[in-house]
Amino acid sequence: MVSGLLLVPAAATGGLNQHLKFSLSIQYFSCSIGKEKYKSFSSASWKRGGCCNAQLALPELAPATSAAYGVLLLGGGLFAYTKSGSKGSLLGGLTGSATMATACFLMQASETKYIGYALGFGSAFLFSSVFGIRLAATRKLTPAGPLLGLSIFASVVFISAYLQHSL
C-alpha cells in the first residue's frame, strides 16, 4: 500500500498508469468530490461531501494471506513444541504450513487458482473449527482465541477471493 495520499483526476490516469504501473496497479478507492472524479491509492479518511467506494483486490491478497498464515501456523506449532513438548501442535503446524504453501503455489497459476482458493479455505476452516473447539473446551483466551481469529480472517479472505474472482 502507498503510504501517502495521491489524488489524480480520473481523466489524467490514462497516461499516468503507464509510467507508475508498478505502484498504482491496484485501485483502493474511487471518489467524486464536487464535479471532479478522483482516484486514490491510499487508505486515507475523506472529508464530508464526497462519495467513496472501497474496492479490495482480494484475488491478489489471497496468496500473501496464505503465505503469512502458513508461517504463523508453523511458528505457533514450533513454539508450542518447544514450550510444552506438544507433538500434536508441531504436527498441526507443519501440516498447516505445508497446506498453505501448496495453496499459495496453486493460487499463482490461472488454471489452478480455484483449487488453491478451495484448499486454503478448507484448511483455514478446519483450523478455525479446531481452535474454536479448543477455546470452548479450555475457556482460556490464549492461544486458541487469536488463532481462531486469524483462521476466520483467512477463511473470509479465501472465500471472498473465490467469489470475487468467479463473478
Q: Are residues 96 and 151 in the same domain?
A: yes
Q: Are residues 50 and 65 in the same domain?
A: no
Confidence of residue 77 (pLDDT cuts 50, 70, 90): very high
Q: State the pTM of this model.
A: 0.66
- pLDDT at 63 exceeding the cut of 50: yes
Q: Are residues 63 and 25 in the same domain?
A: no
Residue 100's contacts (CB-CB under 8 Å, 6 or more residues apart) are 66, 67, 69, 70, 73, 120, 123
Q: Are residues 103 and 64 in the same domain?
A: yes
- Residue 129: give the domain boundaries: 59-166
User: The domain spanning residue 101 has which CATH number?
Assistant: 1.20.1440
61 CB-side CA count, 13 A: 18
pLDDT (0 to 100) of residue 76? 92
Q: Are residues 146 and 65 in the same domain?
A: yes
The answer as to whether 154 is a domain residue is yes
pLDDT (0 to 100) of residue 55? 57
Q: Are residues 36 and 65 in the same domain?
A: no
Q: Are residues 19 and 91 in the same domain?
A: no
Number of domains in the chain: 2
In the sheet with 7-9, reading across from the earlier edge strand, the strands are: 7-9, 36-40, 29-33, 50-54
Q: Are residues 22 and 74 in the same domain?
A: no
Q: Are residues 114 and 161 in the same domain?
A: yes
The answer as to whether 2 is a domain residue is no
